[in-house]
């Protein structure tokens, strides 16, 4: 698989996590709502903002096509993603991330 297209206006969340953990880039459109920014936050943490986060529909299509059609762009992006995952495991195996997530969920439930 070359690229996963995130849903919008609400992002994929767990689906995006699974794709990224498998080394597949995800293209998303940043939304104004928190539900639409989950995937964008993950991509920013992994250093993939430029290639994978779009600000509008046209940019979303351009970024997705570049990853799917341009072998060099796709290869470089996948390499960057895999390096980020191997070096930091920022999204998947970091206790700090889990603590922050638990705090966020608790705050949302109290809201």
Determine if the pTM surpasses 0.75.
no
Q: What is the C-alpha separation between 22 and 99, in angstroms, rounded?
A: 23
CA proximity to 24, closest of 43, 4, 7? 4
Domains defined for the chain, CATH in brackets: 4-110 (3.40.50.2000)
Average pLDDT over residues 27-33: 87
Of the candidate ranges 46-55, 59-68, 95-104, the one whose mean pLDDT is the lowest? 95-104
């Amino acid at each position: 698989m070359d690229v996963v297209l995130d849903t919008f206006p609400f992002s994929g969340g767990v689906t995006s996590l699974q794709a990224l953990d498998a080394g597949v880039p995800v293209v998303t459109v940043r939304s104004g709502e928190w539900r639409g920014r989950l995937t964008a936050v993950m991509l920013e943490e992994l250093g993939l903002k430029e290639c994978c986060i779009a600000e509008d529909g046209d940019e979303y299509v351009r970024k997705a096509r570049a990853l799917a059609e341009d072998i060099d762009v796709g290869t470089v992006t996948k390499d960057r993603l895999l390096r980020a995952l191997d070096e930091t495991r920022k999204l998947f195996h970091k206790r700090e991330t889990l603590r922050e997530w638990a705090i966020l969920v608790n705050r949302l439930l109290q809201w």
